[in-house]
Amino acid sequence: MNMYFIAQVLPPHLNEQVLQWKWLMQERYGCKVALKSPAHITLVPPFWLDEQFEAALVQDTNTVVAGVAAFTIITNGFSAFKPRTIFIAVEPNAHLDALKKKVDDFFAGKEAYKVKLDRRPFHPHITIATRDLHKKTFAEAWPLFETKAFKEEWTADSISVLRHNKKNWEVFHMATFIS
C-alpha cells in the first residue's frame, strides 16, 4: 500500500521561491514537514491505496479533469492558521473552487480510494510551515511573513497525483486539462 494525494502543484519557478522560505523555516525553527512535498494546493488529502489500483487512479484522475479549461491562480501575501501553520494566501477563485468540488464529488463516489474528504470549507493555500511549527516558534516566525509580499500568478492547466516514497512526496502523475 502507498499513500497518495491530489493537488494543484505550482510551476517549478514558483516552487523554487517557496522552497527558499521552507528552508528558512527549517534552518531557524527546525520545521521539516513542508519540505517533504513540492509547493501545492491540496485538492484531495492523503489516502492509502494498493499499488494494483494505481492505473485506475491515473485513469480516474484524467477522467475527472476532462473538459476542465485552464485558469489563472493568483497568490497575495502570507497568512496563517494560528498558531501552527504559515502559508501563502491564494486569492478567491471560482474556477479553483469548481475544480475542488468536481474532484471531491468524483472521488467521494469511488469506494476503492477510501478518500476522507475534508468537511471544512475549502481554503486554498500553499504551506510554508505546519505541524512541526510549535506555538512558541510561531510567535517568533510569523513576524517574518505577516507583512511580506508574494503576489504571483500562474496558469493552472493540470492537477497532480503525488505518491509518498517513504520519505517524501513525489509527483506520480499529471492529469492535463482537456478543454
CATH class of the structural domain 2-176: alpha beta
Helix axes 135-145, 12-29, angle to 10 degrees: 130
Please state the rounded mean pLDDT for residues 92-107: 96
Instruction: Check if the beta carbon of residue 4 is closer than 8 Å to that of residue 42.
Output: no
What residues pair up with 153 in beta bridges, in sequence order? 74
Please state the rounded mean pLDDT for residues 87-110: 94
pLDDT given at position 101: 95
User: Would you kindly state where each structural domain of the chain is located, as residue ranges?
Assistant: 2-176
State yes or no: cis peptide before 83, omega within 30 of 0. Answer: yes
Rounded to two decimals, what is the model's pTM?
0.95
DSSP 134: -
Q: Which of 33-37, 54-58, 118-122 has the lowest mean pLDDT?
A: 118-122
How sure is the predictor about 163, in pLDDT bands with cuts at 50, 70 and 90?
very high
- Report the distance separating Cα 112 and Cα 56, nearest Å: 10
